[in-house]
Amino acid sequence: MAFGSNQPIRFGTDGWRGIIAADFTFERVQRVAIASAQILQKNFADQAVDNTIIVGYDRRFLADEFALAAAEAIQKAGFRVLLANSFAPTPALSYAAHYQKALGAIALTASHNPAGYLGLKVKGAFGGSVSEAITAQIEALLDANETLTASNSGSLEYFDPWQDYCAGLQQLVDLEKIRQAIAQGRLQVFADVMYGAAAGGLTQLLNETVQEIHCEPDPLFGGRPPEPLEKHLSQLQRTIRAAHHKNPKAIQVGFVFDGDSDRIAAVSGDGQFLSSQKLIPILLAHLSQNRHYPGEVVKTVSGSDLIPRLSEVYGLPVFETPIGYKYIAERMQATQVLLGGEESGGIGYGHHIPERDALLAALYLLEAIATFDQDLGDLYQTLQNKANFYAAYDRIDLHLRDFSSRDRLLKILATEPPQVIANREVIHCDTKDGYKFRLADQSWLLVRFSGTEPVLRLYCEAKNLEAVQEILTWAATWAETAN
């Protein structure tokens, strides 16, 4: 069988992604969809009421057409398919898999990747990302290139992916407290949906007008990837600063959602950018102290050291995983978890489905603001004081020439890792995921490669932003020189 690419299909941190019409073709999508459905049936039949597969999509170019092609292929393979009748957040599809007691869900999305990419995420019956063991089974079935047929064709129906999802989220939050703060003029809510699947979401959830920007369809995402990074948010920051200048007595907050609405960042009233490194501690405090949810705090290797410091203050256990929300989801299924979060913006909760959910995070943050009557920036500073921990954080991505450049750098890291970084002695190296170098001044540098692109990711936390930039500059120079 001919493919748009000769490369084997491989799943990365969360799903399979490729360039549209090159790696990501209708033929390949249909094969991956059928294989995924069969592996979901093999692993989750005992958790489902029948052989239903949920299929949905975000707002990327041709995502709806690819979703229809996937749904029709799965139907012909003998499954009952529920196909979304509109774009929707990936968490809504995960929720549908759990709520409908289906075998699982397939989401056509490339999340935060550039506009030329599309992808396919596989979700289990439990309502979260499947494990590496299951994606390995899908890859093995594809590699075997077996003919996948069924004796009887299944069925295909359309469903509204928003209705049950919104109703489920609304039950978890004190909406009246939020609505009252908005109605009284104490709170103004803004959202940059980055042309993605969160468009209209907060308005539906709150039944209140939320000022959205970048909410119209745009297959090019305004010329930038739909990733909640500060460099993409100048318009939101200007909008919020103007609102704060006009109404300084109100608390202004802006939320940023990635392309499929499973990742979040925020902007405070003074225009300060708050990544999930700052939002996770706020949510941790709110859910444990105000809502009294019990359980473990799960962080990834790239998470801020403030998370375990604050967890210690509140007497909460901490568990660390590699990067990738599927590892957090696995932990949530194994033990009681308060919340789990990753540096890139994915945050989920043990009392909900084991899935990162940006709209639910926004609702909880609004609830925290209304409860504490404080701006997010002020809340974060209060928690720093409580834990007596102050640090700055940043991350940069270096685009490499090709995957062979990545392989050369990996070999150097494995055989000749640096012993001194930016004039700071390396005192420990954690290889749980990439190479995390702990330095003598309590700062750290994580060197890690993207699973889907020839990209080197450099993460750093240090005592101040100047130290962070010094270490990141050293790391970028090292990578360029070594390669």
What are the tens digits of pLDDT across the range 291-345?
999 999 999 999 999 999 999 999 999 999 998 888 999 999 999 999 999 999 9
Instruction: Give every residue of the chain whose pLDDT is below 50, as ranges.
Output: 1-4
Q: Which of 317, 263, 358 is nearest to 13 (CA)?
A: 263
Show Cβ contacts of residue 148 under 8 Å, excluding neighbours closer than 6 positions: 31, 34, 35, 38, 77, 141
CA distances from 63 to 27, 84, 96, 331 (A): 14, 12, 19, 31
Q: Provide the pLDDT for residue 451.
A: 66
Q: Provide the pLDDT for residue 1.
A: 33
Tokens of 129: 């990302």
Tokens of 431: 């290889």
Buried b (16+ CB within 10 A) or exposed e, 93-122: bbbbbbbbebbbbbbbbbbbbebbbbbbbb
DSSP-derived secondary structure letter, 15: B
Helices marked H in 422-461: none
Q: Provide the pLDDT for residue 450.
A: 80
Domains of the chain: 16-161 (3.40.120.10), 167-387 (3.40.120.10), 392-482 (3.30.310.50)
Residue 146, Cβ neighbours under 10 Å: how many? 10
Q: Provide the pLDDT for residue 242.
A: 95
Q: Provide the pLDDT for residue 151.
A: 63
Q: Provide the pLDDT for residue 146.
A: 72
Q: Provide the pLDDT for residue 148.
A: 59
Tokens of 290: 């105000």
Distance CA 89, CA 251 (A): 27
Consecutive H or E run containing 279: helix 276-285
Whether 293 and 352 have beta carbons less than 8 Å apart is answered as no
The strand ranges marked E within 150-261 are 155-159, 187-192, 211-213, 251-257
